[in-house]
Amino acid sequence: DSGVTQTPKHLITATGQRVTLRCSPRSGDLSVYWYQQSLDQGLQFLIQYYNGEERAKGNILERFSAQQFPDLHSELNLSSLELGDSALYFCASSVGSSSKYNEQFFGPGTRLTVL
């Protein structure tokens, strides 16, 4: 158990819909990262938050957005869903943003299926 929790574990929805994925980081971790794992793209970085502020962006679609709340939990919002958005979405956390030691600890993931 990494200490990172993600809900829900599975999500099935239809094209055009909007969903919210939730992540709680390990106790004491200030950074939260979101990754997408699809069959053809592997693990891809989406976005990072550090202590409530956006710190880095990857190839995140404009239909996707995220935020980190004062209690440090984070939510990833996916809207106007398409079939190609079906993937595993992982959240990871680490102690700091620019720390030399950047071991990221991953949650169990949310499997999103868009029908």
Least distance (Å) from another protein to the CB of residue 35?
8
CA distance 83 to 23: 23
Determine, following the binding rule CB under 8 A, whether residue 27 of this chain makes contact with another protein.
Answer: no
Residues binding another protein: what is the number (CB under 8 A)? 30
Between 79 and 105, whose beta carbon lies closer to another protein?
Answer: 105
Determine, following the binding rule CB under 8 A, whether residue 72 of this chain makes contact with another protein.
Answer: no
Q: Which stretch binds another protein (CB under 8 A): 14-22, 39-47, 68-76, 77-85?
A: 39-47
At a CB cut-off of 8 Å and minimum separation 6, what does 99 contact? none
At a CB cut-off of 8 Å and minimum separation 6, what does 56 contact? 45, 47, 48
Helix (H, G, I), strand (E, B) or coil at 32: strand
Amino acid present at 72: L
Between 15 and 51, whose beta carbon lies closer to another protein?
Answer: 51
Least distance (Å) from another protein to the CB of residue 16?
27
